Amino acid sequence: MKKREAVPEYGGSHTTSLECPEDHQDMLDMFRVSREFKMKYRGLLYYYGKDFVAFKKENRDSQGRNLFLEVIASYMTLHLEDECPDSWNECPYPFWEELIFTYLPSKTKILPEKNFTHLFLHELHAFLTWLDEREHTALSPKVLPFIKESLPMLSRYESLFADLFLRNYPKMHQPDWNYRADMAIADQKWNLYAERAQGLFQVHSIEKEGILFIDLLTRFPYFIRNVPVHRIDEGMVIAGAIGRRESGMVWDLVFPDGFFPKRGIKYIGEDLVY
C-alpha cells in the first residue's frame, strides 16, 4: 500500500496557513489546477506552489507551459525535498545551474518536434520575467546567462537522445504504436549481448572509429562504436545501458537514458566527477 504523503505543518516561514473558508476554497482551486502539471500536494503549501498555479492560469492551454511546470514542480517537491530554499530570492546560482544543466536533461521527453528543451527554457525565462514583475525579484538577469549558454547545447543533446532512443522504438510517435511489441523486441535485442553494463558514462575521448566511455562509478573503460562521433562532445555524460556481443571486442550503446553536459556532473554526485 502506498504511504500517505506527509503534509508540512502550517505556519512555517515559507508555508501557507489556512484560516477561513475562503482560504480552503482557494486551496481547492489551486489543487485542481496543480493536478494538470502533476505537482505534489505539499507544493501548494509553499511559496512556489502558489506561483506555479498562478503562472499556469495565465496560459492554461499551453503545452510548453505544462511541460515546464511538470519539470520545475518535481524539482522543487521531489528532488530538493527538505533542502528547498525559503524564497525565490534565496535560490543561489547553483540552484539554477543544477536545474538547467542536470535536472532538465534527466527529464527530457521524446517529442516529435524535438523541442522539449526549447519549450522548457522559453517558459523558464517567461516565468522568471513574470516573477520579477509580480514579486519585484531580479531573477531573470541572474539566470538568463545559463539559459543562453545551455539552449544550443542541450537542444543538440535532446536531438541525439531522440534519434538513438527511436532506434528501439521507431513507431513511438505513430497513432498505431504497439508499445508491448516494441518492448518485446527490445528485450530480445538486449538478450543478444553476452556482456552488459548500465550506468553513467563520461566521454573520455573521441576517435574516428568510436568513442571511449569511462564508467563514472567503476572507472572501467568501454569502447563504443554505434554512436555518431560528430554529435558527441568530449566530457559529456551519457546515462544508459551498453552491451558487447560474445564474438565482439567493442560495445554498443543499446538503451540511452539521457545526455548531460560536463557542467552538470557535479550535481550528479561529487564522488562521480571524472
Concatenated DSSP letters of 260-271:
E-GGGHHHH-GG
Residue 8 lies in a domain: no
- Give, in order, the Cα–Cα distances in Å from 46 to each of 41, 81, 153: 10, 12, 33
Task: Check whether residue 154 and residue 267 sit in a common domain.
Answer: no
Task: Check whether residue 153 and residue 202 sit in a common domain.
Answer: no
Residue 205 lies in a domain: yes
Residue 46 CA to residue 31 CA, distance in Å, equals 13
Task: Check whether residue 56 and residue 141 sit in a common domain.
Answer: yes
Residue range of the domain that includes 207: 189-272
Of 6-10, 215-219, 254-258, the range with the lowest mean pLDDT is: 6-10
Task: Check whether residue 225 and residue 141 sit in a common domain.
Answer: no
Among 40, 52, 49, which Cα is nearest to 6's?
40
Cα 177 to chain centroid distance, Å, stands at 25
Q: Which cell is 182 given?
A: 516494441
Give the per-residue pLDDT at 59. 95
> Taking all residues of the chain, what is their mean pLDDT, rounded to a whole number?
90
Give the per-residue pLDDT at 114. 97
- pLDDT tens for residues 26-38? 778 889 999 999 9
Q: Give residue 14's pLDDT band: very low, low, confident or very high (50, 70, 90).
A: low
Statement: residue 271 has pLDDT above 90: no
Query: How many CA atoms, within 13 angstroms, populate the side-chain half-sphere of residue 76?
Result: 26
Among 137, 79, 115, 84, which Cα is nearest to 268's?
79
Residue of higher predicted confidence among 4 and 75: 75
Give the per-residue pLDDT at 119. 98
CB 40 within 8 A of CB 31: no
Give the per-residue pLDDT at 71. 97
Residue 226 lies in a domain: yes
- Quote the percentage of the chain above a pLDDT of 70: 89
Q: Give residue 81's pLDDT band: very low, low, confident or very high (50, 70, 90).
A: confident
Residue 7 lies in a domain: no
Residue 32 CA to residue 129 CA, distance in Å, equals 25
Statement: residue 82 has pLDDT above 80: no
Task: Check whether residue 196 and residue 67 sit in a common domain.
Answer: no
Among 254, 252, 209, 216, which Cα is nearest to 237's?
216
Give the per-residue pLDDT at 21. 53
What is the count of structural domains for the chain? 2
Task: Check whether residue 161 and residue 28 sit in a common domain.
Answer: yes
- Quote the percentage of the chain above a pLDDT of 90: 81
* Total residues found in the chain within this entry: 274
Give the per-residue pLDDT at 79. 83
Mean predicted confidence (pLDDT) in 112-133: 98
Residue 260 CA to residue 269 CA, distance in Å, equals 13
Task: Check whether residue 228 and residue 108 sit in a common domain.
Answer: no
Task: Check whether residue 160 and residue 198 sit in a common domain.
Answer: no
Task: Check whether residue 127 and residue 222 sit in a common domain.
Answer: no
Task: Check whether residue 143 and residue 94 sit in a common domain.
Answer: yes
The 3-state DSSP class for residue 242 equals: strand
CATH number of the domain enclosing 239: 2.40.50.140
Give the per-residue pLDDT at 78. 81
Task: Check whether residue 121 and residue 221 sit in a common domain.
Answer: no
Give the per-residue pLDDT at 73. 96
Residue 2 lies in a domain: no
Could you say which of 132, 165, 198 is where a domain stops? Answer: 165
Among 234, 244, 231, which Cα is nearest to 265's?
234
The model scores a pTM over 0.85: yes
DSSP output for 88-105? GGG--HHHHHHIIIIIHH
